[in-house]
Structure formats: C-alpha cells, structure tokens
Structure 1
Amino acid sequence: MAPELEKRVARKRAYRKRWIVAIAVLIFMIISIVAAVSFKNTSSSTSADSPIAVVEKAKQAIGLPAHKKINILLLGIDERKNDIGRSNVTCVVTVDTDTKNLSMLWVPRDSRVAIPDHGWNKIGHAYAYGGPKLSEQTVANLLGVPIDYYVAINMDGFKKVIDALGGVDINVDKRMYYYDPYDEGEVDNDGLIDLKPGMQHMDGNVALQYVRFRHDEMGDIGRIERQQKFAKALLADVITPSVIPKVPNVIKEANTVFKTDMPVSEMLNLATIMNDVYKQGLKTEMAPGKPVYIDDLSYWLPDITATRKQVAQIQGLAVDDKYLASARNLTTEYEKSLLKSKVIDAP
C-alpha cells in the first residue's frame, strides 16, 4: 500500500474510532440524563481480580447468566451549597447484550430501605452517607441483584448537556406550576416551575422543570412517568443524524459533569447495540409499592415480593422457592422494623 494511501486509511480509522467513542459516551449520557433530576476510566482488564471478573462471579453465584445482563445504576444528584447532596432519582438500567433489550427500573425517591450501617431511611440518603458505592450496595440489597456500574449527574450537569444537544421536544400533558422556596438560589427561576400544556421544544432549564415537577395528585409517581416519557423522547432524538455535529460539545460538557466507574471499553461494547434497543423500544418500569406515612413522614413502602418478581423477569431468573424465600425474609425484616412505628396509608 502506498504511503499516502496508508495515511488516508489510518486517518479514516482514527476518525471512525473517535466517533464510535463519542457516540458511546453520548448514548450512556442520554440514558443517564433522565436520572439526573431531582470520563473517569477504570481498567478493562479481565483478570481474576478485575472489577468485571468479580461482578461475573457474583452473578454466577446467585444464578444470573454470565455477561448477558449488565446493570447500571443511574443517580440524579440534588447537590446543595456545602452539601454533598442526595440522589433524587434512582434508576437501574439493565442491558441484555444477547437480545439487545434495555429496561429501566425506577425506584421512587421516597422508598424506605435498609442502608448498610445507617439503619432505615429514604433511598436517596444512601448517597449522602456514602456516595455512589453505598447507593449501589443499598439498591443491590433491595433488588437482589448485583450492580455493575454507576453513572451520576447533578442538576446543573443535566441542563448543560440538554443545551449542548440543542434541546428536546416534549408534549406537556397539563399545566405545571409550583414555587419551592427551598430551591431559591439553587436552580434557575429561583425554584419556580411554570409550564403550559402542549408540544414544546425544551432547553436545559425548561427540561429540568419538566422532569422535576411532582406537586400534583400523583406526586413522585407522576414525576417518574414524566421522566420515562422524557427518556424515550431523548433517545429518539439522539439516534438521528442531526445530532452528530453536536457530539463534540456534548462530550465536552459530559466530561465535566458526569461521574462513572464504567470503562470506556464497556461503553463501546454497549453502544453497538443501541440502534437495536431503539427499534425494540425502551422498556420503562417502576418498583411496585404504596405511599404511606410513617410517624407522620411520607415514604414509599416497597412491595418486596412483587419487586423481586419484577426484577427476576427483567434479569431472566427463575422464580423458584429459594428466590421467593429470600424475598419473604426481606419482607419480614421490613415488618419488624415498623413494629414500633405508626404507619398510615397515604390518600
């Protein structure tokens, strides 16, 4: 091959590789963005002591198929001045690399859970107590499956990335108006959410209002439904050719606002199936349970057995006696922890 032709081929390969990496980062940023409301590379070694190998052993130990399902914890962090913040959104993305299916399981922010070494509290407090790793452990204990990686983004990062993408089109189904003095000085509009119904092209600030709003009869459940709708709309926009020129700026913003322990090699592997994921449809679900007041504080009380059955279906696990016994044991722990508390079903 002539030297000049070799150079052109090398340049073409390098260009293609850059765009593959860019699209990989973009895809996972898009999925993560939805969980942001409310590239730190690690080794991709497959040695016996590497994180990936450890995760595979853990999966096999509890009966999960080896390297077929990948569970990614998405955390939307509400950071405040002089405060590490809490995860206002907790969502587990499960990617099936064989069937090319992707499922998103939202865990309501008020879910009452056992946080290792910190007792019973709302799931968002796990991040405040121990960052993403404690959040991973808490979610894994609740759902009964290991978490492979985490991706975290805060509210400011959400707005920046949406703006870099050029916004997103959403049909707002009803009037949304609320003022929260707690947000004054922390988010744009000083805590005011003011949206009118109808199709809208949202920039980062307006999109943040849309996915944060929860002050209606549906509360956090309605907000989760809007976040699911937003995720699907955003994924549809991202796979269009018009987004390609925006990728460099999106990646620039993403590098400054995202935290993750996912290796680039894994991003590349998963990015190759995203077109198939879109064609099959993004599956979105919410962990079942009910709203309650516990000692006059509002919580979401998870239905452990129903949640574990839901997770088993997503993971492709058989719901056998052993699996159900584990769910019953955790249910018993919940019941014991509430014996001295006043529990009232929320209206």
Structure 2
Amino acid sequence: MSSYNKGLPPRDDRSRRPSAKGSKKHKKRSGGKSFFKLLMTILIIAVLGAGGVGGYLLLTLNDTINKTGTSGKVAPENSAKVKPLAMLLLGTDYRPKTGTHLSDVIMVVAMNPKTKSATIVSLPRDTRFQMKGYKTNKLNAFYPKFLVAEKKSGISAKQEMKTMLSKYMDIPLDYTTVLNFQGFRDVVDALGGVDVTVDADMCYKDNADGTNIDLKKGPQHLNGEKALDFVRYRKSNCKTKTKPSNDFERNQRQNEVLHALIDQTKSLNGVMGAGKAIESLGDNMTTDLEAEQIKNVIAAYWNISKENVAFIPVTGEWKSPYVYIDDSELNKAKQALKDELAGIPQANGQAE
C-alpha cells in the first residue's frame, strides 16, 4: 500500500470567493502527515521502540491505558487480535484558553489483524456535510455541537459522531478516539523539545487565546508551545507582516516535526521522556475503546509495516466556505475501507 501526498485549500484568507471562471480544485492533505498521526506515531515509538526500558514503559502504558480506556469487557471473538475493526479518529483544536472543540482532523481507520494492514481515509475538515437527519454544516462543526447536546440527550458526542460517520461511510464504526492540541505540546516537552529548521519568519498574535507566534527563519530548538506555533501558523497580523502559509506548507512542517521527534525517541532523553509522553497522551485523549481492547490493538499491530498502511485523502472543490468533496473519490475510499475489513488486498498493493 502507498501513501498519498496532497494539499488543502489555503486558509490564510477564507473570506475570498473563487473568481467567475469557477472554483479551483485543491488537493487534500496526506493523512500520514497529519497532527493526529504525529501523536499516534510517537505513542507507538515511545512504547515499543525503547527496548532498554521496556519494562518501565510497559508499566507506564498499562497505567495510562487503564485510566484512558473504558472498563468494559471484550468478548474473545471481538478482540482486535482476531476481528477487523473500524474506528473514527478526531483531532480537535481544544485548548484551555479557547474551549473550542472543532475537529480539524477527521479520519476513518479500518484495520485487519490477519493481513496486518490498515487503511486510513482522511476527510476535509471543511467538507459540506449534508445527510438526512442532520442540518447542513461543515464536517468539523458537528463534534462541538454534539458535546453541547449530550447534556440533554444523554448520548455522548463520540457516539453521535460514530453513528453519523458510520452512515456516511457505509461501514459500521466500532470506536471513536479524540485527541487535542495540548497532547501535542506535552509530547514535545516530554521528549525534551524538537530540532527543526523554520522555513520562514512567522509572526501572529491573538490576545483572545494568548497566541504569540514569533519564530525566526533558520535552525531552532523548539519547546512544545513553539512547536505548536510552528505547525499551526497560517497568516500574520503583525505590524511587519510575515509570509502567509497554506495547509500544504503546514503539512510539510508537521512532517518535519514528526521526523524530528522520531529522532528524539532514539536518544537517551527521548527514552527517559517516553513515559511522560505516554502519560500526556492519556491526559489529552478520550476514547470509547475498552482498556482491554487498547491492549489488544497494540498486541495485534505493534509491528505493522508502514508499507501496509494506506493513507487515502478525499479531495474536492473549494468554494468558500466549504469543500465540496469528489463523489467518485469518496466512493473509492469507502470501498477501500470495506476491502480492508474483508481482508481483500488492494490492486497491486496500492491505495487507489
């Protein structure tokens, strides 16, 4: 299987509409370079890649899993070790100062323990979502609305998202996992910061949430806060404006941070910080996965090859303020998920 490398509509000036000549077709970011994959990759590497302190990390992992996962029991036939699973992964923009929960990363994952493979479909956050029973809105706006409604309905926002996306993607989703921005900062800090090359000067300030992006071009050692600034930067509102950034460029920076953090885990500081990194993910991640099932997933997929993970971004037409996704691509993505669950190899081992 292969990964795709695509981009998204620019976010630096979302008020502009396309010209009379029509809208432009934009590519969607690669799921493999997303914020959520970054954190999940670090989790796997931190837990399983540090053989020298494996016992310590396993103890830390068990404690975190038991606190993060639910206490429900998993029937043997439903174990991730034997049953293909599908789950929804959401990366939210939640920060204590803003309180927002927009799901800016939306992925549907199908995994098969027999083939030791996975297919990840990434949906544009600005997708114009229209389906019977739901008011038309951007796809990333539903999770916060469900969070508000769950106090009255008694139905969790994770369950509502799972139900909605199950219908939309034509497959039964077993679980939902949600991760936030704070987890990213904590992981970077736990690993002692990250060395990157800042590609351009970046300046942006927002007193409402305390954002103060002030980065200079060149090699830098960034802490968690600065690393988040680096991957989030979109545009400048400073007196001396710096060059704006679109989502494709942001994805490149996310990928750079990913590789730098992988290098960090190979160092002594990275290994010693791995326990804290795992704990920070537990504090900033919510899931309806049973603790027992999380352990099953790790046992089943800990040695999965990156060549057996397909990232399929669904693209579309950008017509402010929405992305109108390509139906043919969506249908191919749905079929790829179904094939993964059925254990059917994709043509020539490629994600189509």
TM-score, scaled relative to structure 2: 0.61
Alignment pair present for 1:302 and 2:325: yes
Report how far residue 142 of structure 1 moved.
3.1
Instruction: Give the Cα–Cα distance (whole angstroms) in 1 for the partners of residues 100 and 131 of structure 2.
Output: 17
SS of the equivalent of 2:93 reads: strand
Instruction: Kindly provide the amino acid, as one letter, of the partner of residue 158 in structure 1.
Output: F
Instruction: Give the Cα–Cα distance (whole angstroms) in 1 for the partners of residues 179 and 101 of structure 2.
Output: 11
Instruction: Give the Cα–Cα distance (whole angstroms) in 2 for the partners of residues 267 and 214 of structure 1.
Output: 35
Which residue in the other structure is 2:225 paired with?
205
Q: Structure 2: which 5+ residue stretches go unaligned?
A: 1-52, 147-156, 236-242, 343-352
Report how far residue 86 of structure 1 moved.
1.7
Correspondence 1:230-249 to 2 at 5 A: 230-231=257-258, 234=261, 238=265, 243-249=270-276
SS of the equivalent of 1:269 reads: helix
Instruction: Give the Cα–Cα distance (whole angstroms) in 2 for the partners of residues 232 and 142 of structure 1.
Output: 33
Alignment pair present for 1:312 and 2:332: no
SS of the equivalent of 2:227 reads: helix
Task: Kindly indicate whether the alpha-carbon contact (under 8 Å) linking 1:161 and 1:254 is maintained by their aligned counterparts in 2.
Answer: yes
Instruction: Kindly provide the amino acid, as one letter, of the partner of residue 301 in structure 1.
Output: Y
Report how far residue 195 of structure 1 moved.
5.3
Instruction: Give the Cα–Cα distance (whole angstroms) in 2 for the partners of residues 200 and 94 of structure 1.
Output: 37
Instruction: Kindly provide the amino acid, as one letter, of the partner of residue 260 in structure 1.
Output: T
Correspondence 1:220-299 to 2 at 5 A: 220-224=247-251, 226-227=253-254, 230-231=257-258, 234=261, 238=265, 243-278=270-305, 280=307, 283-293=310-320, 298-299=321-322
Task: Kindly indicate whether the alpha-carbon contact (under 8 Å) linking 2:110 and 2:341 is maintained by their aligned counterparts in 1.
Answer: no
Larger RCO (CA within 8 A; separation ≥ 6): 2
SS of the equivalent of 1:95 reads: strand
Instruction: Give the Cα–Cα distance (whole angstroms) in 2 for the partners of residues 176 and 143 of structure 1.
Output: 41
Q: Structure 1: which 5+ residue stretches go unaligned?
A: 1-14, 28-38, 57-65, 320-347
Correspondence 1:122-161 to 2 at 5 A: 122-130=138-146, 131-161=157-187
Instruction: Give the Cα–Cα distance (whole angstroms) in 2 for the partners of residues 94 and 276 of structure 1.
Output: 16
SS of the equivalent of 1:85 reads: coil
Which structure: greater helix fraction?
1
SS of the equivalent of 2:126 reads: coil
Report how far residue 19 of structure 1 moved.
3.4
How many pairs does the alignment contain? 270
Correspondence 1:1-347 to 2 at 5 A: 19-20=57-58, 22-23=60-61, 39-46=68-75, 67-79=83-95, 83-114=99-130, 117-130=133-146, 131-170=157-196, 172=198, 174-175=199-200, 177-179=202-204, 181=206, 184-189=207-212, 192=213, 194=215, 196=217, 200-215=220-235, 219-224=246-251, 226-227=253-254, 230-231=257-258, 234=261, 238=265, 243-278=270-305, 280=307, 283-293=310-320, 298-316=321-339
Q: State, as a whole percentage, how many aligned pairs show the same letter.
A: 22
TM-score, scaled relative to structure 1: 0.62
Instruction: Give the Cα–Cα distance (whole angstroms) in 1 for the partners of residues 119 and 222 of structure 2.
Output: 25
Instruction: Give the Cα–Cα distance (whole angstroms) in 2 for the partners of residues 166 and 45 of structure 1.
Output: 37
Task: Kindly indicate whether the alpha-carbon contact (under 8 Å) linking 2:90 and 2:103 is maintained by their aligned counterparts in 1.
Answer: no
Q: Which deviations, in whole Å up to 9, do the C-alpha atoms of 1:14-60 show, x marking residues without a partner?
A: x9776336457989xxxxxxxxxxx1423133289xxx59xx9xxxx
SS of the equivalent of 2:322 reads: strand
Report how far residue 288 of structure 1 moved.
1.8
Task: Kindly indicate whether the alpha-carbon contact (under 8 Å) linking 2:116 and 2:308 is maintained by their aligned counterparts in 1.
Answer: no
**Which one has the largest radius of gyration?**
1
SS of the equivalent of 1:94 reads: strand
Task: Kindly indicate whether the alpha-carbon contact (under 8 Å) linking 1:26 and 1:250 is maintained by their aligned counterparts in 2.
Answer: no
Aligned CA RMSD, in angstroms, stands at: 3.9
Task: Kindly indicate whether the alpha-carbon contact (under 8 Å) linking 2:90 and 2:104 is maintained by their aligned counterparts in 1.
Answer: no
Change (3 A) 1:185 1:218: closer
